[in-house]
Structure 1
């Protein structure tokens, strides 16, 4: 009998075969060019000086030819450098750290729920069930007006919360960077649910006595992904205004949005949303290229608002008793999944290596031509990014993205720990996650970060950053006094 061939699936580590394929495809251009360059170099060594001079003379170049060629080279180089997009640098960012006096323990939250809904034991039990499974810890914070018994929201207290959060972030940013208020050329504030007059940008300009020609923008009603929308707006403005600095402030003011009714779909935000805010300094100044922490690579925005189901999945409305709140529909996660699918389809070709793009294209053709029921190939985004910042909207959001993108527990650690320590801080949550990665000492020069945010409308937005230098472990900031305790184990259910 002829000897049997060995079982190659057992004798060869297919992981290394895949790595070899990836290396070959991703460096295919280099593999093709290197032999050509070596051949030309060897050929040039073979030629004698007389042969080189003879070759030059055979070209019959006149002074006019040389001048025109030099002019064309200089003109092309100038056109290239003038037309390419300006680089957008992230110099520094600062985060709001709530004082201990505003901490909301589980017992304190449930005490408020019993007082506000004393005639609705089912609604109280529902909030308890959500809180037990939320992934939040006992150090999250509410604004002062929501710590009162009963809560006492008002316009004055809403402004006080906005001033506390925004001014704290700005003071910290000025201290970290040494920048002066008059050095800021562009100011963008995003806050989805609180839009007073004068605006929040006007409040900041008044506080810090900024220049009269500052370009200011106040974004509202754009949900938890408004932070990345603000980054995109700042990027576009910095492309048009050279030698400029831009500050983006992301927050959500909770005081006027405390829901005091009993509708379950509108009680969810009470259980998840907490105080938070971030101020980010961006610049296109060439002189900042060494000081900057990150360089912005891509921003990809996906809006599914044309679909009625997506448009209605998150809405601010009144319940039958006239209480205003944010209603989250039961199909929210399915809609978020569709939005994410559209977003990664767009961002994939921009960031994925050639090996993953080829496998994805082959999978797509197989499904289109042969069998539409074949399982689609999910690109390995771990090859494109070293760090992931997924909007800490809730445990279900993080679980779903971890499963769909096939991420490891460490790659979603920043999102889970941010949710545990600070809760859902809306548009600023991505910056708490980035700060967590820095505080753990994991950020290195050249590392790529993918920020993913979701928002009402329905929107899914992505930003890709590249680390510009090694980041020293921060000695101050929101994580400074607790980073040694993290990561912590978060049980599926915490019995209250």
Structure 2
């Protein structure tokens, strides 16, 4: 009874009272923010793989492959081309060497070659860019969902760069497109307990083996969306990197709605009726993505929202959940009061549209996601880093700016990370966008 009375009192508060409460809570939080038990995690720098132009896959090339793979089922060819036309992908995305061949020759060995091309090129660039010696790497985290060889991808990297024997290495698989931020979370936790350490994250999806050659339409969809790519990220808790690092990690929040059958099954690796393996995408994927994003916001709100926005958000939530007023219109916080930039998973046009609606964002806010999808396609867990690179290439990242990364993945998971920019970042003379940034943004129907 007392709880209900208190909740009723809170709901009856006027706008002016909420503003006053907001100010008081803000002062308290600001005071407590100076008390930190753990060292800070700095993002020193990162690099994205840019495959050679010979691996570009324009729509006419994709059509040739479809006709070879589905020569006895032209309806499926038409289906794929219609999906591709509406996907938001441009003409310059990349496919692995084995998939670019006519006919395609996917194999385990070809997957290894794709992994070496993507991972080694991004790591070579990172080591050259930062001057980091591979012998100074203390923690190595690699995530790749569907390709998990033995020896592992981390072992492949340790061997290539002759790293120390005591490097703490982790190889994450099966975690889907949200795995990049899971790797950030893992590295962040390790850096809390290992002082003066450097961590390298490699985030990618090796797609050679899951190129589907069957007729199931739900399993043909990934062929139209997923493309080759990857990124390497250098994190450290060393105080010497405080001034020279690009970003400071503020928050990481992970949510999982896999207890729901529809959510669990909406992205599923399975065999079709002919025994061919592929990734099946459910028609309910966009609505599930919206539900996962909402769950993440509920878990994240206390950490990220300005106090005024938080109180209005909680007020609506209490009315709906406690007092069972289901017709109450949900309050969409003004996230632009918390962040200057947004990097939301470039999973496809439908997923991007759903996230834009759930967050109440503008087309300009979604520009990095849409342009990344157009230029590079869905590169899975690494897409967030292509988006951040887009913002840097446009010269938009200024000291003090906060950027919100949101990743969605099978399971179903939604993960968030918030970074604070440590410096005015100058437009780079290299990187994945350097030769095309002047052409963007473009209108994507």
* In 1, Cα distance between equivalents of 2:282 and 2:324: 37
On the 8 A contact 2:18/2:311 being kept in 1, the answer is no
Inter-CA distance 435–21: structure 2 relative to 1 (3 Å threshold) = farther
Instruction: Tell me if 1:326 matches 2:279.
Output: yes
Partner of residue 341, structure 1: 294
1:389–1:109 distance in 2 versus 1, CA, 3 Å: same
How far did 1:364 drift?
2.6
Question: Does residue 1:423 correspond to 2:363, yes or no?
Answer: no
Give the unaligned 5+ runs of structure 1. Answer: 1-17, 33-79, 492-496
What is the alpha-carbon distance in structure 2 between the residues aligned to residue 310 and residue 90 of structure 1?
A: 32
How many aligned positions are there? Answer: 425
CA distance in 2, matches of 1:23, 1:85: 32
* Residue of structure 2 in register with 1:450 after alignment: 404
1:486 match? 440
Residues 1:270 and 2:201 are matched in the alignment? no
Matched, 1:220 2:177: no
Partner of residue 462, structure 1 = 416
Contact (CA 8 Å) 1:225, 1:454: kept in 2 or not? Answer: yes
Q: CA offsets, 1:188-213, max 9 Å, x none?
A: 11000101111000000000000000
Mapped contact 2:22–2:311 kept (Cα < 8 A)? no
1:436 to 351, 365, 390: 390
Q: How does 1:216-365 map to 2 (within 5 A)?
A: 216-365=169-318
Q: TM-score, normalised by structure 2?
A: 0.92
Which has more radius of gyration? 1
Q: 1:133 Cα deviation (Å)?
A: 0.2
Q: Deviations over 1:441-473 (max 9, x none)?
A: 000111111100011111110011111111111
Question: Does the CA contact (< 8 Å) of 1:274 and 1:422 recur in 2?
Answer: yes
Q: Report 1:42-441 matches (<5 A).
A: 84-367=37-320, 368-369=322-323, 371-441=325-395
Shift of 1:369: 3.1
User: Could you say which residue in structure 1 is the equivalent of 2:6?
Assistant: none
Distance in 2, Cα, partners of 1:22 & 1:172: 50
1:158-177, Cα deviation, whole Å (9 max, x unpaired):
11110000000000000110
Contact 1:21 1:355 in 2 (8 A): no
Q: 2-side partners of 1:409 and 1:329: how far apart?
A: 26
Tell me the CA shift for residue 250 of structure 1: 0.3
Change (3 A) 1:343 1:29: closer
Q: CA deviation at 1:363?
A: 1.9
Alignment deviations for residues 113-149 of structure 1 (CA, whole Å, 9 cap, x no partner): 0111011011011101100100000000101000111
CA displacement, residues 305-364 of structure 1 (integer Å, 9 cap, x when unaligned): 222221111111111111100011111112111111110001111010111011112223
Shift of 1:27: 3.9
Per-residue CA distance 1:262-301 (angstroms, 9 max, x = gap): 1000000000000000000000001110011001111100
User: What residue ranges of structure 2 are gaps of 5+ in the alignment?
Assistant: 1-14, 29-33
Give the CA deviation at 1:372: 2.6
TM-score (norm 1): 0.83
Comparing 473-482 and 353-362, the one that deviates more: 353-362
Aligned to 2:12: none
C-alpha separation between the residues in 2 aligned to 1:157 and 1:363?
53
